[in-house]
């Protein structure tokens, strides 16, 4: 398939994926805005005042970046896992499989849908955050690049989950038992310097920590971890997940009997 | 000339160990109208699944217009349009979008795709339903929509797995005309069906698969010529008291008003009418007891079950 045809195939998948989550905006865009508002009301306004400052910032300002990035993570993941599993469940993934669209375009297409949802919902909750927190922008390029890379990483992870999922239950197991704990323990609500040494070291094994720190740096200019190291970790994870997704899709795992 | 489809020694063993195909060979000429027949579970859909890259084969070779599906999959896939036996579309998507997206997966520009979608939706009588989500179509409409989807990229080889299952009589006739026209315009068509009348009317060549093996691969005409005799059912105007003697034809009475007559291949029907005229029996109507191909098919499959 020529490059220009592949580009058309990619655009087609992207449009399809984009329209899918826009059509069901009440399930995809609205709920995270409500949840984030609740976090801000409780942790920002009600409890935050008593916590005082974190690394020299108002508590609500400290947690805002993490809450936004958490939304990006859950939304991009949720998009690809639901969409890919749905395509498998209704068998319309076969529309792509009979076509000459190469496997990597299929993966790029689904991933781009997850990224789009991550960015759009991330933007929506950023607007919500502005009602509660004082969000200055320290470095816009870092903010955007971290959002896109994080969304890419979790979109890929969502596809892998979608490939393995056999039932609707399987699409919520990983988000509940792995993703949520890693995110909550990834330094959204605290600086890891508050932790005992052992837990600090443990936290460093959590890739989400690097993303949240780099993202927070984009807003307020402070981080627990070296920025370039964060980018390195994220890129390595993306490369690994992409290779694995490619392997699964090529083998037709869970799709081709 | 290269074949539209060439299958050599195709084997399929499913993961649970079930052997669905035991080494089938098939060749379909360009421009052919070909029927793939066989009882439920014979392996027809398995073979189609492999041809269209939806099922991994265990062994064997498949080439489409000379393109091997393993080494030149993009070329091979571009040649094929497929209607699967099971519904496989997003039920929440409007059908026009389903078609336009399908074209996109073949690298067709969106504006072009919309005009193609209009063409096929009109041809298949679904234009009024274009904004409807697929879930809201009737069963027969869903199948027609999937045929339109298969045609979006102008395939040279159209493979239809039971295209008329659940399609009403009128639409079935319309679809036959439609497929005949596509074939006349040069498209190679392969279909599976359990309505042997359909295969007899439409298809020039036939393969019969049973238990994962090709048990017959020939032209429709040659197959029908092989039928030793045909059985006709005669409805009579008035009751006949005793069985008439009809020269050189075996006759059975079903009830007083109905007779069954066997006519040997080559004997011709006019001899029967001559014989009937002699006895003075008035015949109201006459029909084949079964479709000719159906009769043959039953014999062949039966012979294999009880050799
Ligand atoms: N995924 C699968 N795993 C195991 N066995 C399978 C699988 N799919 C099909 N089979 C078996 O393979 C055999 C052939 O099935 P196939 O669908 O090819 O038959 P068919 O000729 O299309 O029948 P029908 O006329 O009923 O559509 C059947 O016995 C079926 O049970
Ligand atoms: Mg079948």
For chain A, what is the radius of gyration of the CA atoms?
19
Which atom of ligand 1 lies at the shortest distance from residue B212's CA? 14
pLDDT for A174 equals: 87
B154 phi-psi bin (left φ>0, alpha ψ -120 to 50, beta other): left
Looking at residue A98, the DSSP 8-state letter turns out to be S
pLDDT over 90 at A191, yes or no: no
Chain A residue with minimum CA distance to B89: A92
Q: Which residues contact A61 (CB under 8 A, 6 or more apart)?
A: A133, A134, A135, A220
| Closest residue CA from atom 11 of ligand 1 | B20
pLDDT in tens, A196-205: 888 888 888 8
User: Where does B124-269 have alpha helices with state H?
Assistant: 139-151, 169-184, 196-202, 220-225
Which parts of chain B register pLDDT below 70?
Answer: 228, 247-248
pLDDT in tens, A125-172: 999 999 998 888 899 999 999 999 999 999 999 999 999 999 988 988
**Is there a contact between A129 and A40 (Cβ–Cβ < 8 Å)?**
yes
A101: nearest CB among B56, B82, B105: B105
Q: How far is A250 from chain B (nearest CA, A)?
A: 11
The Cα–Cα gap between A42 and A65 comes to 16
Find which of A15-19, A36-40, B254-258 is predicted with most confidence, using mean pLDDT: A15-19
pLDDT band with cut points at 50, 70 and 90 for residue A35: very high
B70 in contact with A, Cβ within 8 Å:
no
Average pLDDT over chain A, rounded to whole? 92
B19 in contact with A, Cβ within 8 Å:
no
pLDDT for B248 equals: 66
All domains of chain B in start order, with CATH: 5-224 (3.40.50.300), 226-305 (3.30.70.1560)
pLDDT band with cut points at 50, 70 and 90 for residue A45: confident
Residue A218 main-chain phi, psi, to 5 deg: -60, -30
- Ligand 1 pocket, Cβ-based, cut-off 6 angstroms: A 257; B 14, 16, 18, 20, 38, 40-46, 85
Which atom of ligand 1 lies at the shortest distance from residue B43's CA? 18
Share of chain B above pLDDT 90, in %: 65
pLDDT over 80 at A46, yes or no: yes
Mean pLDDT of the A190-197 span = 86
pLDDT for B215 equals: 93
Task: Name the residue among A222, A234, A215, A205 with its Cα closest to residue A70.
Answer: A215
User: Which ligand sits nearest to residue B194's alpha carbon?
Assistant: 1
pLDDT for B226 equals: 76
**Chain centroid to CA A40: how far?**
20
Question: Cα–Cα–Cα angle for B114, B118, B123, nearest 5°?
Answer: 150
pTM as predicted:
0.89
3-state SS assignment for residue B5: strand
């Amino acid at each position: 398939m020529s490059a220009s045809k592949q580009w058309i195939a990619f655009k087609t998948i992207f449009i399809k994926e984009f329209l899918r989550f826009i059509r069901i905006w009440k399930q995809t865009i609205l709920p995270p805005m409500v949840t984030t508002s609740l976090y801000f009301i409780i942790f920002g306004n009600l409890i935050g005042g008593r916590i005082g400052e974190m690394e020299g910032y108002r508590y609500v300002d400290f947690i805002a970046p993490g809450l936004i990035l958490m939304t990006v993570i859950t939304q991009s993941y949720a998009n690809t896992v639901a969409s890919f599993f749905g395509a498998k469940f209704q068998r319309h993934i076969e529309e792509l499989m009979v076509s000459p669209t190469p496997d990597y375009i299929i993966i790029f297409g689904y991933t781009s849908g997850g990224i789009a949802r991550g960015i759009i919902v991330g933007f929506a909750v950023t607007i919500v955050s502005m009602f509660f927190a004082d969000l200055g922008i320290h470095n816009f390029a870092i903010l955007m690049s971290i959002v896109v890379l994080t969304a890419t990483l979790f979109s890929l992870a969502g596809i892998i989950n979608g490939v393995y999922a056999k039932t609707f239950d399987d699409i919520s197991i990983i988000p509940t038992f792995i993703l949520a704990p890693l995110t909550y323990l990834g330094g959204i609500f605290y600086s890891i310097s508050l932790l005992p040494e052992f837990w600090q070291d443990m936290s460093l094994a959590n890739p989400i920590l690097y993303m949240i720190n780099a993202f927070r740096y984009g807003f307020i200019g402070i981080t627990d971890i070296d920025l370039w190291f964060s980018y390195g970790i994220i890129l390595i994870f993306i490369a690994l997940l992409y290779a694995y997704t490619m392997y699964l899709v090529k083998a037709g795992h869970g799709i081709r009997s | 000339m290269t074949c539209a489809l060439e299958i050599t020694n195709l084997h399929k063993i499913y993961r649970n160990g079930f052997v669905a195909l035991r080494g089938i060979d098939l060749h379909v000429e360009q421009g052919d109208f070909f029927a793939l027949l066989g009882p439920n579970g014979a392996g027809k859909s398995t073979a189609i699944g492999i041809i269209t890259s939806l099922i991994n084969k265990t062994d064997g070779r498949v080439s489409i217009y000379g393109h091997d599906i393993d080494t030149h999959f993009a070329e091979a896939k571009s040649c094929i349009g497929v209607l699967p036996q099971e519904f496989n579309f997003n039920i929440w998507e409007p059908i026009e979008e389903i078609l336009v997206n399908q074209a996109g997966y073949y690298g067709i520009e969106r504006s072009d795709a919309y005009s193609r979608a209009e063409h096929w939706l009109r041809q298949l009588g679904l234009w009024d339903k274009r904004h409807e989500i697929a879930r809201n179509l009737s069963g027969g409409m869903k199948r027609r929509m999937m045929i339109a989807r298969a045609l979006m990229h102008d395939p040279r080889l159209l493979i239809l797995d039971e295209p008329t299952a659940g399609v009403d009589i009128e639409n079935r006739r319309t679809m036959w005309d439609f497929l005949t026209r596509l074939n006349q315009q040069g498209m190679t068509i392969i279909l599976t069906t359990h309505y042997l009348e359909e295969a007899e009317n439409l298809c020039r060549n036939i393969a019969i698969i049973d238990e994962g093996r090709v048990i017959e691969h020939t032209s429709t005409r040659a197959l029908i010529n092989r039928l030793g005799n045909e059985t006709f059912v005669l409805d009579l105007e008035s009751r006949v008291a005793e069985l008439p003697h009809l020269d050189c034809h075996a006759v059975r009475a079903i009830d007083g008003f109905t007779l069954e007559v066997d006519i040997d291949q080559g004997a011709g029907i006019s001899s029967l009418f001559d014989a009937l005229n002699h006895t003075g029996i008035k015949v109201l109507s006459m029909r084949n007891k079964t479709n000719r191909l159906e009769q043959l098919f039953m014999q062949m499959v039966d012979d294999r079950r009880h050799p």
